[in-house]
Amino acid sequence: GYFASLRGCFASLRGCFASLRGCFASLRGCFASLRGCFASLRGCFASLRGCFASLRGCFASLRGCFASLCGRFVSLCGCSVSFWLFCIFLVVLRLFLVVSACLSVVVTHQLLIKQILLNMNK
């Protein structure tokens, strides 16, 4: 009885250590996942910065287009109004595309933060 009890105790101890090793492996996986999540978040912020830079370029292009339009109008170049309307249409289209891309990045960023918070609560 004594040796059987001792063997059972050692078997239980081995099971405890195996469970502890599994726990540490799970913890390492959790930290690896968290590092990947933060890397993804850094990429999202870089994309957002690029989006705002593109938006600034779009506004600069719009200012240049209007300055050119005013210059042409003042000098009475005789350029057709349809050309300038087309220019304005292209700039507005570019502005719309940049704003929609920025909104997409912001929504992705918010979903990523929500996923991080859900993973941290688990």
**Residue 76's pLDDT band (boundaries 50, 70, 90)?**
low
- 8-52 pLDDT, tens digit each: 888 888 888 888 888 888 888 878 877 887 887 787 788 778 778
What are φ and ψ of residue 77, in 5° steps? -65, -30
Whole-Å CA distances, 24 to 10, 31, 37, 97:
21, 11, 20, 47
What pLDDT does residue 10 have?
A: 81
Share of residues in the chain with pLDDT > 70 (%): 85
